[in-house]
Structure 1
Amino acid sequence: MRVAVVSPYALDIPGGVQQQVLGLVEHLRRLGQEAFAVGPAAGAAGADAGRPVMFPVNRSRAPIALSPMSVRRVRAAVAGADVIHVHEPMVPLVGWAALRTGRPTVVTFHADPSPMFRAAYRWGRGLVRLLLGDVLATTVSRTARRAVEPLGLDVVEIPNAVDVGSFRVEAQRDPRRVAFVGRPDPRKGRDLLLSAWPAVRSEVPAARLVIVGGGESPPVEGVEYLGRVSEAEKRSVLAGSGVFCAPNRGGESFGITVAEGMAAGCAVVASDLPAFGDVLGGTGLVFRNGDPDGLAGALKAVLADPGLGERLAAGSSARVERYDWGKVISRYTELYRLATRAG
């Protein structure tokens, strides 16, 4: 089966949607399917939809293609596909261009969208359904599913996936080391974590914080900034850390970094976002969203009690197996078969 997997976001820039698109292509190919990616800056991954620009999307800035030429490139790239799988179909222009092609189409909604998009779904339902055309729809979580309920779609919930085994690498784990992975966007909560860190160090002087991701690096005692690193280096950092921290403020529908921390065998401390709670299933330590004192208290609790950290890590390591690509990929291939039969 020839499957075009479409991303509206630039594929050469790290991001949750891009990671799922590239992972899906890789695992479909392992199953013998002829899968390829379509998106801005696709490079060797597939068909290039053009140069991206940074555009405000969902309380962040996203690299999307807005040139009219992108529409022509996308339509040409997907023309020979047996199935087109469009991720975030409402994000212009690449997502729009891959819809209503006359080919069997699956769409996946990832986001916990902004109020503007929620209003569009509620008041512009007819127009959105017209733009989507005849599709099979999926969401990555309950949070994303609730967001698109006003559209009246028959939605299948298929979670994001991680290659669990690849995160279980040999490394000397430091139970006093905390890892954070993410962009410096305010909604990712890096600033919140840095503001809470002095209180953590005051009670656990041996605690160290390692930050993976670009952006500013203000000097804070006990904090090491690694900048952007390779996937292999990220896995090594997580495997060597006792705790993974996800202090995100909102706009998260799943929490792929949370799942990665779980897969790496870390105890997870996270804000009490509903999406994070669904992924963790009670195996992490959560604090009230946006509360630096609550964040510091949760980190101190797990850093000061090695037994607690070990119990949390064991629970999350078992739970994350449900998000492994080996379990998720078959749900997509079955959906593709349904789409081709319906088409």
Structure 2
Amino acid sequence: MCPYSWDVPGGVQFHIRDLAEDLIRRGHEVSVLAPADEDTPLPPYVVSAGRAVPVPYNGSVARLNFGFLSAARVRRWLHDGGFDVIHIHEPASPSLGLLSCWAAQGPIVATFHTSNPRSRAMIAAGPILQPALEKISARIAVSEYARRTLVEHLGGDAVVIPNGVDVGFFADAEPKSEWQGLDAPGSVAGGAARAATIGFIGRIDEPRKGLPTLMRALPRILAERPGTRLLVAGRGDEQEAVASLPEAVRGQVEFLGMVSDEDKARLLRSVDLYVAPNTGGESFGIILVEAMSAGAPVLAGDLDAFRQVLDGGAAGELFPVEDADALAAAALRLLSDPARRSALRAVGSAHVRRFDWSVVGGEILSVYEMVTDGAASVAPDERTRLRGRLGLTRG
């Protein structure tokens, strides 16, 4: 069950899509219920629950689906599916997740994605949500910070299983010559032959993605490395995004708009440095894993979730959140140090194996097997290990 609109891509939707496709590759039958507009192209395994409406949520805007008609569609989907296990994402949100919790019978697995340590709304709604949440057989959190939000606001606990990435898809992508810079084949060490390229992927007009911080750092970067280009992929007002920049340097920012998964991978394979200047509200950081999978050195804001994904800073460098001067200094240092960038690539490429769907999908499947009194396809020792991590018993 997907709580957010399928036609406006985001981390939760990508997680659900990739998990569904991993399970299908393993031979399982999968159905996904998700809000979607009538003209949205849907994979064969996705069932539309109708149109969603935008709602401000956790520093962003979530497109949710809720109400009597949605509840009827949830009940019909559950009735027609005859599922062995129901996997609900964000069951505490006012969306299909909560409706599914109310309506579902049988084994329920829930994944909690949100990290919001000061959610007054979640605290206030706790007593109302508890009867539905008590039906959940096993809980998964995508990070320690999502788990902490669950524990502090709603009680109970969860096993931490991170978001997954198809590491090979990003690692094998073909770089695009027009997006390449210092590290392109034939470049001279130190950047004499080619200028550097910095990458950013995210919604331009969503403040917590941090593009304004990167824009404030850009003039200093360009003052020392005049040919540097910033490649920005994502939707939003491009003119507003560069409005704070001096007119003379605006041409160094290239907006690519929304890009396909293939072009996202090619972009990450091409840039000399990927910058994630996010300001908060992140429970994981899937873009960091994608960047490391593609071999891009990562420079990220020092959020708790990002620090965890980057192995405490070993797999990527961190700078103080919203500190444009520190971002510029770190970017200049990395762009001038090919050996350091190479070292980050090596560490990142090894670190991301933990997040490959071959690992993550197997752990989620182990939870399914545990709550449905497991089939022989999952090793008994893996079920025992996960049962201990969950701290749960059947019944």
- In the alignment, which residue of structure 1 is the partner of 2:207? 186
For 2:133 and 2:156, how far apart are their aligned partners in 1? 10
1:261-340 counterparts in 2 under 5 A?
Answer: 261-281=291-311, 282-340=314-372
- In the alignment, which residue of structure 2 is the partner of 1:12? 7
For 1:271 and 1:245, how far apart are their aligned partners in 2? 8
| One of 33, 36, 41 as aligned partner of 1:38 | 33
Residue identity matched to 2:11: G
- In the alignment, which residue of structure 2 is the partner of 1:134? 135
TM-score, normalised to structure 2, is 0.82
SS in structure 2 of the partner of residue 162 of structure 1: coil
1:13 to partner: Cα distance? 1.4
1:98-113 counterparts in 2 under 5 A?
Answer: 98-100=100-102, 101-113=104-116
For 2:157 and 2:210, how far apart are their aligned partners in 1? 34
Is residue 97 from structure 1 mapped to residue 99 from structure 2 by the alignment? yes
For 2:338 and 2:115, how far apart are their aligned partners in 1? 34
For 1:249 and 1:31, how far apart are their aligned partners in 2? 38
For 2:78 and 2:322, how far apart are their aligned partners in 1? 43
* 1:59–1:114 contact (8 Å) kept in structure 2: no
Is residue 145 from structure 1 mapped to residue 147 from structure 2 by the alignment? yes
Unaligned runs of 5+ in 1: 1-5
Deviates more, 1:301-310 or 1:271-280: 301-310
Look at both structures and tell me which one has the larger radius of gyration over its CA atoms. Answer: 2
1:207 to partner: Cα distance? 1.5
- In the alignment, which residue of structure 2 is the partner of 1:239? 269
For 1:287 and 1:154, how far apart are their aligned partners in 2? 31
Poorly superposed stretches of 4+, deviation over 2 Å: 42-45, 113-117, 123-129, 172-175
- In the alignment, which residue of structure 2 is the partner of 1:205? 226
Is residue 85 from structure 1 mapped to residue 87 from structure 2 by the alignment? yes
| One of 9, 14, 21 as aligned partner of 1:26 | 21
Residue identity matched to 2:60: S
Query: What root-mean-square deviation, in Å, do the aligned CA atoms of Structure 1 and Structure 2 show?
Result: 1.6
1:156 to partner: Cα distance? 0.7
Residue identity matched to 1:32: G
Is residue 195 from structure 1 mapped to residue 195 from structure 2 by the alignment? no
The one-character-per-residue Cα deviations of 1:285-306 (angstroms, maximum 9, x if unpaired) are 1100011111111111111111
SS in structure 2 of the partner of residue 35 of structure 1: coil
* 1:71–1:93 contact (8 Å) kept in structure 2: no
Flag the structure with higher strand content: 1
Deviates more, 1:322-331 or 1:34-43: 34-43
For 2:75 and 2:92, how far apart are their aligned partners in 1? 16
The one-character-per-residue Cα deviations of 1:117-151 (angstroms, maximum 9, x if unpaired) are 5x634x65443321213211110001111111133
Is residue 225 from structure 1 mapped to residue 225 from structure 2 by the alignment? no
Matched length:
336
Residue identity matched to 1:265: G
Residue identity matched to 1:131: A
The one-character-per-residue Cα deviations of 1:202-221 (angstroms, maximum 9, x if unpaired) are 11122111000011113523
1:93 to partner: Cα distance? 2.3
Identity of aligned residues (%): 39
